[in-house]
Amino acid sequence: MNRPAPLLAPSLLSADFARLGEEVRALDQAGADWLHVDVMDGRFVPNLTFGPLVVEALRPHTSRVLDCHLMIEEPERYVADFARAGADTLTVHVEACRHLHRNLQQIQGLKHHAGGRVLAGVSLNPHTPIAAIAHVLELCDLVLIMSVNPGFGGQKFIPQVRPKIRELRAMIRERNLPTRIEVDGGVIVDNIAELAGDGADTFVSGSGILRSERFGRDYAAAISAMRSQAEAAMTWRDP
Ligand code: DX5
Ligand code: ZN
């Protein structure tokens, strides 16, 4: 039986960086399930953001999942540092990993700060086919489908990724896996239902939650509106 609850993961990329701890606490109190941390190295993507020191600094501000999306080359050099800093999930890009199977095994072998192990994720750029992960899917706790080209918040959703979500959901269902499907980039209250209907169960949203015209600074209203849209549209779930 596979009946995942929708998870809402606001992206800190859209937060006020001068008040990052406060923003994390506000999102936690607003009902965020995961807090999405976009790590960029200026090489894999044309932008720079946070490293393990920032994850470590944020860790005492929330007990929610710190969902670390590593948009970096050679992630194997840094995953242990992120785990020690308090990351709960570590997602690497298939396009940045020459030895993806080994990289995922390495992440699954990392101890979680509160016991157990860190969750391993793999992310696919918009152009990368699902077939690229068909042979490592059993090593993935989550698959993150990029629905914009990574590097910046506030971009427009790329609709061509929707068939990939459907294809991956079918593969996960066929193999009876608990793997989560996370979608990231341009996710807003107006399109979350169609993505949930396609098979996504975990939704990253930066500007859609933190910089929304419709909800203003009311993060709780944005999160709850998105959650109820997703909940109603996940009709592919087992009863
Ligand atoms: C883009 C990042 C996303 C970004 C999403 O490279 O991976 O997580 O924060 O921001 P929005 O929701 O504004 O597209
Ligand atoms: Zn991201």
204 three-state secondary structure: strand
Helices (H), 100-186: 100-108, 162-174
**How many CB atoms neighbour CB 199 within 10 A?**
23
Q: How confident is the model at residue 2 (pLDDT cuts 50, 70, 90)?
A: confident
Q: What distance in Å separates the CA atoms of residue 67 and residue 27, rounded to the nearest whole number?
A: 14
Going from the Cα of 239 to the center of ligand 2, the distance in angstroms, rounded, reads: 30
Q: How confident is the model at residue 1 (pLDDT cuts 50, 70, 90)?
A: confident
Other beta carbons within 10 angstroms of residue 139's beta carbon come to: 18
Which residue's entry shows tokens 């991956």?
168
pLDDT at 78 over 90: yes
Amino acid of residue 216: G
Q: What is the pLDDT of residue 20?
A: 98
- Classify 43 as helix, strand or coil: coil
What is the average per-residue pLDDT within 29-34?
98
pLDDT score at 165: 99
DSSP state of 74: S
Q: Distance between alpha carbon 115 and the CA centroid of its chain, in Å?
A: 21
Q: What is the mean pLDDT of residues 220-233?
A: 98
User: What pLDDT, on a 0 to 100 scale, did the predictor assign at position 103?
Assistant: 98
In the chain, what percentage of residues exceed pLDDT 90?
A: 99
Phi, psi of 5 (to 5 degrees): -80, 145
**DSSP letter assigned to residue 46:** S
| Backbone dihedral angles phi then psi of residue 53, each to the nearest 5 degrees | -65, -35
- Residue 181 burial (CB count, 10 A): 23
pLDDT at residue 224 greater than cutoff 80: yes
Q: What residues pack around ion ligand 2 (CB closer than 5 A)?
A: 38, 69, 184
CA of 4 to the centre of ligand 2 (A): 21
Report pLDDT for 109: 98
What is the number of the ligand 1 atom nearest to the C-alpha of 211? 13
- Whether 88 sits among the annotated catalytic residues: the reply is no
Residue range 90-100: average pLDDT? 98
CB 14 less than 6 A from any atom of ligand 1: yes
Cα–Cα dist 56/14, whole Å: 19
33 is catalytic: no
Question: What is the value of pTM for the model shown?
Answer: 0.98
How much is the average pLDDT of 95-124? 98
- pLDDT tens digits, 114-163: 999 999 999 999 999 999 999 999 999 999 999 999 999 999 999 999 99
Considering only CA atoms, which residue is closest to atom 1 of ligand 1?
A: 150
Residue nearest to atom 6 of ligand 1 (CA): 150
What is the CB-side half-sphere exposure of residue 208 using CA atoms within 13 A?
24
Catalytic residue, chosen from 41, 67, 141, 184, is 184
Please indicate whether residue 13, judged by its CB atom, sits closer than 6 Å to ligand 1: yes
| Ligand 1 pocket, residue 36 CB under 6 Å | yes
